[in-house]
Structure 1
């Protein structure tokens, strides 16, 4: 754990404050990171500050990523030796020249390499008394130093990836160690500006509405052979327009090797279903859609089912189309997906179901992707292995883009 945390001015109006971690009253209440959606790749991009001079670095958000990895040329890192305590906190992938190696992957290109475990100064913006704009810095922040070639396929300007997974050196754990936060964080994505927040829960007030009353909770699950760094939940059934689909529950269950289950992902732009589930799902959705008066049209790749957008009523939760319920531990706990999150507007005349066939070899039964996560407030409590979720914030007439940020928080993605 770093012994010193500093609030450093990156702009003229910031005040310089230094303090020790042991001085509890001076610790930030929460950390907030703005998240922008790249319109070309559909990736979610945030910005942090790293290095001696705390230069801004854009990173693609990977909800299930084990750690932060970034281009080696952008930081003033100190490499971590093998056989050290810090190296043991990771899952080392061998040593090169006595430097701790870790396995790092670009999930978009599927390229994996061995990176060097390193540490450097790291800073993010913090919230205090519902105000943002000051910078909290962590010395000796652990990350992986990657070669430039690993950046291929990332959003324009991104120089690495920010991992939020359930690991000892992912961002939530390192923030918890540095600032004494509970091991939990909130994710609120949108098709424009959203946020990642770690610490206490002022995000309810930052949204301007108390959405806690509509938040439901479900356990985060892992395979029986260990703790999963990615985030999985149990879906017991799927309903369309309130009608349960005839699907074998074993299709959704995670086995001892970690196959099956429902994964939550910021890497997949749309939800994908294993083929055995998708075939029955899309057939039923088409049937319910037509019964509501929707007109089927030729599909537009990559989507498998599309409808005419002409004459479809718009509600506060998007086009009036069949609702989708992911039923969790009981009939009382379900993640409802309205038209805003189920449909994708292709053009003024066509809208398509934003749920795709993940193929027969997809490891997870269901992967809930970015489009379905948008304007849903998700709270990942790693300490008690629970997920809190709101379903669509549009029901409360708010959105993830309503978070209050200082003027510098908006960055070009």
Structure 2
């Protein structure tokens, strides 16, 4: 089921597509991708089908990744694999997204090359730009199906060393960043889709929709919105104006926090002084609710006994955390399901970590806090739509995929 939902070619990154072929079904509203969570690494993975013959490729989902890359040996097995020359338009397009030293394109022996990066291990290396074919699964008027024709896409091939640290079986990374060569941008160009995509992560089965908001789900029509802010790395950032615990504002040194959204970080991290303030305030709010502090369990800094804690539809009954965005009326509420991590039958820990004194972002919202939340990234308007926990509506990302898109 999960593997069939996403037949999309991952040749590491796409730009080019042939004109529509006569006889092809009507173009879709959205393209869908299944997402599962690797229990060992806590990474979110998907599977695409690419090449000739079509082969399943497992990839780690990187929300901020600039493009798609795969293990070189996997792509070379395809008879439709084509290297891209250094003097081509495609090579020029690949260089148009350069941001500092993160990625650069060079010509080596007439083959266009760029530097794919494993954003988990921070290792980057040289890889060849190539083209191959893919098939996709689509969402059209709340129905799902497969487009049988294949489409040429560009991608970067990487040496096997770059796959170290990825979830077992993963052959590369699926980049969804704010670039012209990321997967959402290329799918929009390929199928005439809206320039937006949505993610709905889960501890079991989630989904990515590229194109129409939330794959056309009813939940996507009731999202709250906040601006996405520009960054040199083209990742997804928002501004957080304040943080509240049980509706009480934290006393923090800053009045505006640059906040990154990441599928690579398993848990939310915060700059040290802000984390310390959060931890103190959370412990105070928790003990006022008769929660018992216990010894911390790495990597967490604040833990509690789970004895006597009531379970609710949105997780354990613990203090709520609000990320207040552009106004008091726009806030991202984090309930117990997304704030508490159960580390044993008797202990649960606050899923926020100390990110050090000089992190890249003051706050980085990690995967655990994103789970069971529908997030819509509108690239045309530079806005983020968010639902807060779907569990409040007796829904989940798993049944969103199964029922909402049908």
Does the 8 Å CA contact 2:213/2:220 hold for their aligned counterparts? no
Match of 1:88 among 83, 89, 92: 92
- TM-score by structure 1 length? 0.87
Partner of 1:2: 17
After TM superposition, the structure 1 = structure 2 runs for residues 139-288 of structure 1, keeping only pairs within 5 Å, are 139-201=151-213, 203-205=215-217, 210-212=218-220, 214-223=222-231, 228-249=233-254, 252=257, 261-288=258-285
Q: Distance in 1 between matches of 2:234 and 2:148?
A: 26
1:214 positional shift: 4.0
Q: Secondary structure at the match of 2:56?
A: strand
After TM superposition, the structure 1 = structure 2 runs for residues 27-66 of structure 1, keeping only pairs within 5 Å, are 27-66=27-66
After TM superposition, the structure 1 = structure 2 runs for residues 352-391 of structure 1, keeping only pairs within 5 Å, are 352-391=349-388
Does the 8 Å CA contact 1:267/1:370 hold for their aligned counterparts? yes
Q: Secondary structure at the match of 1:359?
A: coil
Q: 1:398 to 1:204 in 2, by over 3 A?
A: farther
Q: Secondary structure at the match of 2:94?
A: coil
Q: 1:180 to 1:363 in 2, by over 3 A?
A: same
Q: 1:377 to 1:60 in 2, by over 3 A?
A: same
Q: Distance in 2 between matches of 1:389 and 1:55?
A: 34
In structure 2, the gaps of 5 or more residues are 1-15, 96-103
Q: Distance in 2 between matches of 1:136 and 1:250?
A: 52
What's the Cα RMSD here?
1.8
Partner of 2:7: none
1:101 positional shift: 1.5
Match of 2:304 among 296, 304, 307: 307
Q: Distance in 2 between matches of 1:368 and 1:354?
A: 10
Q: Distance in 2 between matches of 1:196 and 1:213?
A: 17
1:28 positional shift: 1.7
> Are residues 1:113 and 2:125 paired?
yes
138-147 or 299-308, larger mean C-alpha shift: 138-147
Q: Secondary structure at the match of 1:403?
A: helix
Partner of 1:128: 140
Q: 1:5 to 1:37 in 2, by over 3 A?
A: farther
List per-residue Cα deviations over 1:298-357 (Å, max 9, x = no partner): 000000000000000111110011100111000000110000000001111000000001
Match of 1:340 among 325, 337, 340: 337
Does the 8 Å CA contact 1:306/1:353 hold for their aligned counterparts? yes
1:5 positional shift: 5.4
334-343 or 49-58, larger mean C-alpha shift: 49-58
Q: Distance in 2 between matches of 1:137 and 1:262?
A: 40
Does the 8 Å CA contact 1:31/1:127 hold for their aligned counterparts? yes
Q: Distance in 1 between matches of 2:148 and 2:311?
A: 43
Q: Distance in 1 between matches of 2:39 and 2:274?
A: 29
Does the 8 Å CA contact 2:267/2:369 hold for their aligned counterparts? yes
Q: Secondary structure at the match of 2:126?
A: strand
Does the 8 Å CA contact 1:343/1:352 hold for their aligned counterparts? yes
Does the 8 Å CA contact 2:207/2:401 hold for their aligned counterparts? no
Q: Distance in 1 between matches of 2:262 and 2:273?
A: 20
Q: 1:5 to 1:113 in 2, by over 3 A?
A: farther
- TM-score by structure 2 length? 0.89
1:136 positional shift: 5.6
1:251 positional shift: 6.0
Match of 2:347 among 346, 350, 354: 350
After TM superposition, the structure 1 = structure 2 runs for residues 65-84 of structure 1, keeping only pairs within 5 Å, are 65-75=65-75, 76=78, 77-84=81-88
1:4 positional shift: 4.3
Q: Secondary structure at the match of 2:392?
A: helix
Q: Secondary structure at the match of 2:115?
A: strand
Partner of 1:289: 286
Q: 1:174 to 1:212 in 2, by over 3 A?
A: closer
Q: Distance in 2 between matches of 1:360 and 1:107?
A: 21
Q: Secondary structure at the match of 1:203?
A: helix
Q: How many residues align structurally?
A: 376
Does the 8 Å CA contact 2:59/2:172 hold for their aligned counterparts? yes
1:190 positional shift: 0.3
Q: Distance in 2 between matches of 1:202 and 1:309?
A: 35
110-119 or 182-191, larger mean C-alpha shift: 110-119
